[in-house]
């Protein structure tokens, strides 16, 4: 199975030592860029500020165009996403396990967001590979095992929303 191309709009707003995006870039798992104009046209942009939820039905688009995460400070996120135009999808309810936001629903690191998206669209092995470079990475799948499994079995976004309601 071919891998999904991963992109990260990296705005250098967080502690570089804790930055999961930079580590994904160093390991060759994602291509980093620092300009909104360089987000690949048509790629799925993961955003917490859209109603459109990611589902397995987005797999074809991801295979053709890739998936983009935006790495910025949570304090600036709303302002940053307001300036971006594109093909947005939000992730359904999941819990962060990264050391900075451990236990906070929805406050995923860039690596967690990309791994969750990959898992949901059926690229579980690629998701596990990218999280394998973090000491805490496997815990993301342990903590979120049930929702990730259910989301990945949904047929469309409507089913994902129904499943998500059970976790809220």
pLDDT score at 73: 84
Name residue, tokens 């990475």: 137
Report pLDDT for 49: 94
Give domain limits for the chain. 6-167
pLDDT tens for each residue of the chain, 168 residues long: 799 999 999 998 777 778 999 999 999 999 999 999 999 999 999 999 999 999 999 999 999 999 999 998 878 888 988 999 999 999 999 999 999 999 999 899 999 999 999 999 999 999 999 999 999 999 999 999 999 999 999 999 999 999 999 998
Distance CA 50, CA 27 (A): 30
95-101 long-range contacts (CB < 8 A, ≥24 apart) are 95/143, 95/144, 97/136, 97/139, 97/140, 97/143, 97/144, 98/20, 98/134, 98/136, 98/140, 99/18, 99/136, 100/18, 101/74
Q: What's the pLDDT at 76?
A: 84
pTM: 0.95
């Amino acid at each position: 199975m071919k891998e999904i191309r991963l992109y990260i709009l990296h705005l250098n707003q967080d502690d570089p030592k804790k930055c999961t995006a930079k580590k994904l870039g160093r390991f060759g798992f994602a291509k980093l860029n620092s300009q909104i104009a360089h987000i690949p046209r048509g790629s799925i942009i993961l955003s917490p500020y859209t109603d459109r939820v990611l589902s397995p039905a987005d797999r074809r688009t991801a295979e053709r165009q890739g998936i983009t995460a935006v790495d910025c400070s949570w304090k600036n996120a709303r302002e940053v996403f307001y300036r971006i135009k594109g093909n947005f999808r939000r992730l359904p309810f999941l819990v962060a396990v990264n050391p900075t936001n451990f236990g906070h629903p929805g406050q995923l690191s860039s690596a967690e967001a990309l791994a969750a998206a990959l898992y949901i669209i059926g690229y579980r092995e690629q998701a596990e590979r990218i999280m394998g470079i973090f000491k805490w990475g496997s815990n993301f799948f342990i903590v979120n095992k049930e929702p990730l499994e259910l989301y990945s079995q949904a047929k469309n976004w409507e089913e994902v929303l129904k499943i998500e309601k059970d976790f809220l």
